Structure 1
Amino acid sequence: MSGLPSEVIRLNDADAGELLTLQRAAYVSEAQAHHDLTLPPLSETLDQLRAALADPACHPWGTRESGRLVAGVRVRLVEESTAEIGRLTVAPDRQGRGLGTTLLLTAEDRLPAGISSVRLFTGEHSHSNLRLYRRLGYQETGRTQAGSYQLVHLEKTRLRTDAVRR
């Protein structure tokens, strides 16, 4: 097996339990880096996740390897021309192999044609996340305080808004 996903798939309610488990496993290192075990991805309930997945503005994507969900992301359409990326997660044993990059780029590529701006945020101590986002063209737009650390807000202008693939 090459280690890279063969396909990025749309997630739905049937994936909620597995997605929540993946999310919790993936965010432990973020919680440790920021000394904050109350991160929303760790405290989100199954009902809250199901409600997010049921929201028509939410476009959840994931990748599977041998049937196992190994990466996930939620894209939320927040304005006519803006989308927000959230909960980009990769299973701890699969990190560092390009899954997050592939998933994020695919999710961006599948955005509706009118979306010209993509936003996301991460914690200031999430050094690998910050490197990834900057490498993919996201630029810092500001910071907000979140307890004892700051959230780094980033934005990317989409150059390609002419095609939509689903």
Structure 2
Amino acid sequence: MSTTRATTPDNPDSSVVAVLGLDDAGEILTLQRAAYLTEATAHNDFDLPPLTQTLAELAEELADSTVTALGIHDDGRLIGAVRVHRSENAAELGRLIVAPDRQGQGIGTRLLLHAETVYPEASEIRLFTGEHSIANLRLYARHGYHETGRTSVGDYQLVHLAKTLR
């Protein structure tokens, strides 16, 4: 799978949500590391899996037929991405990332809403985020996600969330 973009002369921001593939792995990993530095700082944990994931591990993840990676490019630059994993009749959302200089512009919302449609047979979508990720928790609550539990990780907790899709 490769990245596709739609361009139109009357739309200066011609970015669309597109499927990403193996050829996008390096760019995804670069964006992932930049985006997760904020999370690492908020949770005082610089060993977060998104920061320690290798290119080979990411390539293996992208090659998995149950994983769909989505992204948004703007002027050739990947500015947001997310991965959705199909798990029985649920979807698991992971690594929703937006370039630090583009946060707060609706990119995360666009990716989140598109991710909810990737597996139409899924009855629920699940995700988790750190308890100190206030903006993330606000985003998910605004779009109908509710807390289903917490898991302790060192000095903080992961907040597990879910949303019924149908």
The two structures have a TM-score, normalised by structure 2, of: 0.91
Question: 1:2 offset after TM fit, Å?
Answer: 8.0
Distance across 1 between alignment mates of 2:12 and 2:101: 11
- Tell me the equivalent position of 1:121: 128
- Tell me the equivalent position of 1:135: 142
| Match for residue 39 of structure 2 among 30, 38, 44 | 30
Q: Does 1:12 align with 2:21?
A: yes
| Match for residue 87 of structure 2 among 62, 73, 78 | 78
Deviation sequence 1:100-122 (CA, Å, 0-9, x none): 000110111232x2100000000
- Tell me the equivalent position of 2:52: 43
1:41 partner amino acid: P
Distance across 2 between alignment mates of 1:4 and 1:145: 41
Distance across 1 between alignment mates of 2:165 and 2:95: 20
Q: Does 1:155 align with 2:158?
A: no
Distance across 1 between alignment mates of 2:136 and 2:14: 20
Q: RMSD in angstroms over aligned alpha carbons? A: 1.5
Check 1:3–1:37 CA distance in 2 against 1; reply closer, same or farther (3 A cut): farther
Check 1:55–1:129 CA distance in 2 against 1; reply closer, same or farther (3 A cut): same
Distance across 1 between alignment mates of 2:30 and 2:56: 13
Check 1:83–1:4 CA distance in 2 against 1; reply closer, same or farther (3 A cut): farther
- Tell me the equivalent position of 1:164: none
Distance across 1 between alignment mates of 2:102 and 2:12: 8
Check 1:3–1:82 CA distance in 2 against 1; reply closer, same or farther (3 A cut): farther
Distance across 1 between alignment mates of 2:39 and 2:134: 10
Deviation sequence 1:106-153 (CA, Å, 0-9, x none): 111232x21000000000000000000010000000000011100000
2:93 partner amino acid: I
State the identity %.
Answer: 57
Question: 1:36 offset after TM fit, Å?
Answer: 0.1
